[in-house]
Structures are given as structure tokens and as C-alpha cells.
Structure 1
């Protein structure tokens, strides 16, 4: 009789552990990661050179959350794991228009890197190269046109893209900041676009 409560308690703990494990697994499966660049670096020591690997990884959930991280280790898998953990801990949320593109055109700058991101109509696809494409695909953007002006260093390009993404705002956020209604902001944007088309 004395072992019966303990047995039930053990079963209850096993169920709780199983639930926690399932939650962690679903959370892990929620994110997709892409390896952007990996570089072998050497440190000169007394006995010769000591090699290690530096990885740059982008992580996103496909619904507007994205982050990047770097990691360095003696082995490639460990460097990728460190970079992935760093990216998951430093994610940002970007508002998307209809869940597929940016709300407006924006520029980003970091070091010698300058990127221009433009929102696009449906069916455009992701027109971007190299590191920028990895950011958009993990973030869940389906239609965007991006151009990198300046450096081709993947670290500076990714940081310039994130600088641009931090400047993206939704009409609701702009309306709340300016004390207006969302309809006024969107209507004004459509009227401006119509005027520009008429002048063209």
C-alpha cells in the first residue's frame, strides 16, 4: 500500500516530464535556421597555428520573427550550435503586410554595407542574393526586392538588413504614434500612390 502513492507520483512526474519535453520539441521545430557563412580562422600560438571555425546563422519562425547569431568553436557543428542559440536569444519581430511582404520601402546601413528593401506585389518572389535571401526565407517573406550596395561581406550585409528591418512599421503602429486612425494613414498612402501614377 505504501508503494502505491509513490508509484502514482512517479507516473505523474514522468507525464509532466514528457509534456515538458514535447513542448520543447515543438518549440524547437517552430524555428528554421540557415547557415549563411562559415569561416576558418587561425590563432598563432607558441606551438604553431590553432584553427577554429566561425559560423553565421539566421533563425526565423516563418511568421515575422527572425534573428542572427555568430559562434566560434574548434569544430564546425559546435560553432553552428552556438550561432543558432545566439540567434534564438536575439530575435526581432517585423510586421508583414498580408503575411507576405514589407509594409513600405526601407534602407539599412551597417559599416560599408548598404541595402535597399522594397515591398512588392503578389507573385514577385524573393529577389535577393546570398545572405539577404536567407533572412527573408526564414522570416517568411514571400515577395520582396532587395539590393545590396557596397560590401559583399555576409556579416555586414546581414547586419544592414536587420538595421532596415528594425525601421519597418505597420500602419497601426504609425497611427498609434501619431494619434490618428489607421484608415487615415492607409487612405493617405493610397491617395499618394494614385497621384504619383497619374503624374507618371
Structure 2
């Protein structure tokens, strides 16, 4: 499936809110022992149709989150929003994952959990 309607957005002059989707401690095992680091997945958005995601890796949690936010601001896309919802149903597939998003009536709110809630609220 080709995304022909995805529009890239520049991050200058837009106020973003960031949400942490997940953070993990990862380990690299070497001959000299274990080296611990952190990876963070972050979603940023302006709550009006511009959203981006990023992955940050560092030795400390705060550095990983900051790198994730910077990476997310480089990967922004514009999602069409009409009256607080998407205009029509969307179906996406990547690997074994299948994502189906459909528009909601006014006043319903976001009915999703986990990472999808973070993306849709951003």
C-alpha cells in the first residue's frame, strides 16, 4: 500500500506536545561484561492533525527521551481532521500488524489503548 496522501510538515513555528509511548532498558553483552542503555519511543503532535514519532537511544533515560523527541520532530506528517475526527475509515497493514481506524461521532472521544491512544491523541 503506497501512502500517496501523506504530507510532510516542517517543525518550525509549531507548538508540540510530546507523549512517551514506551521506554526499555536494553543490554549489550560483551567479553568485559554488560553495558546497559535505554531506548524510548516518543510521539509528538499539535493535537490538530500534525503528528510524528521517533526513537531515541542513550545511556540515560532523559537523554533517550530527548533524542526521541528530536527524531519525532523530523518525521512529521499531516493527518486530515474534520470536526475532531478523521474523514473516513483507514486500514493499514505492516508485517503481521493490521490497524483499522474509523471515524467517531461527536462527543465519543478516543476509544483505543496503549500506543494507539498516544498517537491518536497527539
- If the TM-score is normalised by the length of the shorter chain, which range does it land in? 0.7 to 0.9
Deviations 1:138-177 (A, max 9, x none): 1xxxxxxxxxxxxxxxxxxxxxxxxxxxxxxxxxxxxxxx
Aligned partner (choices 58, 71, 80) of residue 95 of structure 1: 80
Indicate the structure with greater strand content. 2
Structure with the greater relative contact order (CA < 8 A, sep ≥ 6): 1 or 2? 2
Runs ≥4 residues deviating over 4 A: none
Aligned partner (choices 96, 104, 113) of residue 120 of structure 1: 104
Aligned partner (choices 57, 60, 68) of residue 42 of structure 2: 57
Q: How many residues align?
A: 111
Structure 1 position 137 matched with structure 2 position 92: no
**Could you list the runs of 5+ residues in structure 1 that have no partner in the other structure?**
1-25, 139-200
- Hey, what does 2:88 align to over in structure 1? 104
* Secondary structure, counterpart of 1:101 in structure 2: coil
Structure 1 position 69 matched with structure 2 position 58: no
Task: Supply the distance in 1 between the matched residues of 2:89 and 2:120 (Cα, whole angstroms).
Answer: 15
Q: CA deviation at 1:46?
A: 2.0
Indicate the structure with greater helix content. 1
- Hey, what does 2:66 align to over in structure 1? 81
CA RMSD of aligned residues (A): 1.4
Aligned partner (choices 19, 27, 30) of residue 42 of structure 1: 27
Q: CA deviation at 1:35?
A: 0.2
Larger radius of gyration: 1
Q: TM-score, normalised by structure 1?
A: 0.54
